[in-house]
Structure 1
Amino acid sequence: MSNRPFDSLPPTESLELENGLTLVPRVKLSFTIYPTNPTVTKPVDEWKLKLTLIDFLQTSLSSPVTVPEDDLEIRRVGDLKKRKREDPVAQGSICIRDLRFLNRTTNRSNVDEEGKEEEDVKVLEKKYMDWRKYIVEKMDGMELNLEGVKYRLNVAVPASDDFEAMKKAWEEFYAFGNRGHSRSGRQEPDTIVLRGLPSRWFAEPLVSSKPSMLVTHSIFSRLGTIRNLNVAEDNDLGKEAEEIVNIVSGLSCKIVVQFEKFKDFYNALKVLSGRSLQKVKQYPLWQEIPNCLL
């Protein structure tokens, strides 16, 4: 657990929040399964698919990684006979949490401790990004043979985990989105929306199971000075949201955090991207994905 300021937090370290919550680092990959023969109507064997992917991660990478079965989620399509030829037969996600192999940085004796720490953080960030790119390139397009049926795997980093892509998107939005309109001052985002969070995690203990504004404020103020905060029930996420988050049990809530300063928004979104929100002594763990509201 890191005690350093979160704006200089390496991508391999956790950040402790209030109320027993912790942001824990992981690399998350989304994948989609397509049959090489579009006429296939046989359901994909989820168990064999999991074993195949787990074995690949352990034996085919430059730095082998172990992924527990619970961190590999697979969802089959409803009715294969009704699927269109270009539709996938399954989709899912992989969470790689053991990133200790990335912590091997080069010591530099000719710089002071503060400079060395800052340099090491930059080295870790580059290693993290390079390795994530490497594993995506390694897995994207790979062919799988399950019970004699061949499939193609498409792999990508979820949009909400790709901080640099989100940063580029909002910069382009504010640079070109308001062309032709005269506005004073520089336009920058300041709001983060989080959906599907278990309400009880943000409730007052022994008082209520509903999220508390006070508790929620104390949790997210760890990430910066808050201008506005909104907490509401979010029970009807719909089909699209079910493909993005995995809610273990209980009611869920939607939290909208508007920060006073762009710097706080920037640092908060960066630390949320690539991390899971976990509750102490609670299992299985719920995967939280932040979304930037531009």
Structure 2
Amino acid sequence: MTVKPLELLPPTETLEMENGLKLVPRLRLNFTVYPSSPSVSKSLDEWKLKRALIDFLKTSLSVPVIVPEEDLVIKRIKEVRTRKREDPLARGTLFVRDLGFLKSAYKRYEEEEEEITALEKKFLDWRRFLVEKLDGIELNLEGFKFKLTVVIPESDNFEAMKTAWGDFYAFGNRGYSRSGNQGPDTITLRGAPSRWFAEPRVSSKPSMLVTHTIFSTFGKIRNLNIAVDDAFGKDGNEDAEDIISGLHCKITVQFEKHRDFYNALRVLSGRSLQKQGSRLWADYEVTWDKDGFTQHSRNPPQGDGSRMQEMAAGQFKNEALRRQRYSGSIPDDSRRKRFKE
């Protein structure tokens, strides 16, 4: 487990968490593919587009970016009869997981805070440079040209989210919230594998107790809600019907302090979740919740994996008893009642 304060965690460093989980830094960019001209009627070859984009990243930048094929996802948009020639042909996501080159050459500073600030600036400058290089490029696939538009996903752009909540509390909400806070305190995370937040050998459903332990890495938690998130990944996905129910969960966490919320969102943004012993990545989405936790407690999501705020205390107790039962131990109160004369 890392002992470094979260404020001093640079965007290139991994954060070790409880339950064998870790947050691994990476860059994620979303892109959309269009025909360069309305006359292009040839169907898009995803494999050729992937190879062309990988070659561009490797050969056309001052610092080559090596991207394995599995970290470049391209999904063709379903053909519809009403689609116009200028409409997009495909959407995709690019992941850059090897960020070691960013921290290999930065100079040493007397104060660690200055060093972290310099590294963060270097990361943001490089990300901005990469977006500018990719946005609007044309790729020639056997004589047919296709154009890309590239954006940073909202959940990966902490600076933009910080600006958004600043504007919301300064102007849109007249400087206060329903709870009386001067800033947000609640995050929502989607796309987390349910089994990674479940109690081992007990259930495959996400556990309130396990989830609370994991997110306590960021600070004291006021409220917590977990729900099955079968809608995650279905937007614009032709293979949505193949997604298994209960595979992902949605986690809403309200922290007691705005500072803990700030650090949690900053660290979660721009990272992927990985489980010890697994080669899989969980590329979740995280954002701040302008309505706070009240909305989730009043309108609890439906599903077998939902956990309501008013049930939290009972579930903590039940899960603790299950752990004791599994380990073969008996609570002292139970032992006294059993042998009471």
TM-score (norm 2): 0.78
Give 1:127's aligned residue: 122
Give 1:105's aligned residue: 106
TM-fit CA distance, 1:41: 3.7
Task: Measure the CA separation in 1 of the matches of 2:108 and 2:146.
Answer: 44
Contact persistence 1:136–1:155 (CA under 8 A): yes
* Alignment CA distance shift 1:70-1:3 (3 Å): farther
Contact persistence 1:24–1:276 (CA under 8 A): yes
Aligned pairs for 1:239-250 within 5 A = 239-240=234-235
Contact persistence 1:9–1:121 (CA under 8 A): yes
TM-fit CA distance, 1:184: 9.9
Contact persistence 1:269–1:292 (CA under 8 A): yes
Task: Measure the CA separation in 2 of the matches of 1:227 and 1:182.
Answer: 17
Give 1:174's aligned residue: 169
TM-fit CA distance, 1:181: 8.7
1:11 correspondence with 2:11 = yes
TM-fit CA distance, 1:107: 2.3
TM-fit CA distance, 1:129: 0.2
Contact persistence 2:37–2:86 (CA under 8 A): no
Give 2:282's aligned residue: 286
Higher relative contact order (CA 8 A, sep 6+): 1
Instruction: Give the AA of the match of 1:31.
Output: F
Aligned residues: CA RMSD: 2.4
Task: Measure the CA separation in 1 of the matches of 2:75 and 2:68.
Answer: 17
1:159 correspondence with 2:154 = yes
Task: Measure the CA separation in 2 of the matches of 1:144 and 1:24.
Answer: 31
Secondary structure at the aligned position of 1:239 is classed as coil
Contact persistence 1:80–1:89 (CA under 8 A): no
Task: Measure the CA separation in 2 of the matches of 1:42 and 1:153.
Answer: 16
Task: Measure the CA separation in 1 of the matches of 2:174 and 2:262.
Answer: 24
Task: Measure the CA separation in 1 of the matches of 2:21 and 2:177.
Answer: 43
1:261 correspondence with 2:262 = no
Task: Measure the CA separation in 2 of the matches of 1:182 and 1:50.
Answer: 46
Aligned pairs for 1:209-220 within 5 A = 209-220=204-215
Task: Measure the CA separation in 2 of the matches of 1:170 and 1:204.
Answer: 35
Give 2:307's aligned residue: none
* Alignment CA distance shift 1:180-1:128 (3 Å): closer
Instruction: Give the AA of the match of 1:118.
Output: E
Aligned pairs for 1:1-294 within 5 A = 3-79=3-79, 81-103=81-103, 104-108=105-109, 111=110, 115=111, 117-179=112-174, 187-237=182-232, 239-240=234-235, 251-294=247-290
Give deviations 1:94-128, integer Å, cap 9, x for gaps: 110111111121124xx3xxx1x211101100000
Give deviations 1:163-221, integer Å, cap 9, x for gaps: 01000001001111134999896521111111121110000100110110000000001
Contact persistence 1:198–1:251 (CA under 8 A): yes
In structure 1, runs of 5+ residues without a counterpart are: none
Task: Measure the CA separation in 2 of the matches of 1:82 and 1:229.
Answer: 44
Which structure is larger by alpha-carbon Rg, 1 or 2? 2
TM-score (norm 1): 0.90
TM-fit CA distance, 1:248: 8.3
Secondary structure at the aligned position of 1:82 is classed as coil
Give deviations 1:132-184, integer Å, cap 9, x for gaps: 00000011011111122111110111111000100000100111113499989
TM-fit CA distance, 1:2: 5.1
* Alignment CA distance shift 1:86-1:241 (3 Å): closer
TM-fit CA distance, 1:86: 3.8
Instruction: Give the AA of the match of 2:286.
Output: P
TM-fit CA distance, 1:242: 5.2
TM-fit CA distance, 1:223: 1.1
Task: Measure the CA separation in 2 of the matches of 1:183 and 1:215.
Answer: 29
Secondary structure at the aligned position of 1:253 is classed as strand
Percent of pairs identical after alignment?
Answer: 61
In structure 2, runs of 5+ residues without a counterpart are: 291-341
Contact persistence 1:226–1:257 (CA under 8 A): yes
Instruction: Give the AA of the match of 2:189.
Output: L
Contact persistence 1:33–1:89 (CA under 8 A): yes
Give deviations 1:203-257, integer Å, cap 9, x for gaps: 01001101100000000010111000001111233732859x9x98662111100
Instruction: Give the AA of the match of 1:11.
Output: P
Task: Measure the CA separation in 1 of the matches of 2:90 and 2:269.
Answer: 25
